[in-house]
Amino acid sequence: MPFQKFATLAELPPGSVIEILRGDDAYALCNVNGDIRALSGVCPHQGGPLGHGAMEGQLLTCPFHLWQFNSATGACDFNEAIRVPTYPVRVENGEILVDIPDA
């Protein structure tokens, strides 16, 4: 699957996270001091919308029960075995491109 445009840098200021929907799938797009990261938008706990969570440094906090995930690796902060899938990101001309797997 080629990289797909998810958003522009203007839509994702440092310290923010937004939800992007593609078909039936939700993704969480984060900006950690200018480093853009893409994760699945579905929390592995009970399916909370990670794209509606909050950033604290590089940790992404789920809005439902406040589990936190490393936005670079997807690992849960209290159990590394629990992981959110992460996806490659490229930024070109102010556009954020994400390589998501084929449906």
Amino acid at 58: Q
Span 47-66, contacts to ligand FES by CB under 6 A: 47-48, 62, 64-65
Distance of CA 74 to the CA centre of its chain: 9
45 touches ligand FES by CB under 6 A: yes
* Region of residue 51 (left: phi > 0; alpha: psi -120 to 50; beta: else): alpha
Query: How near is the Cβ of 65 to ligand FES at its closest, in Å?
Result: 3
Span 59-98, contacts to ligand FES by CB under 6 A: 62, 64-65, 67
Work out which of 20, 29, 32, 43 binds ligand FES, going by CB under 6 A: 43
* Cα gap 7→57, rounded to integer Å: 21
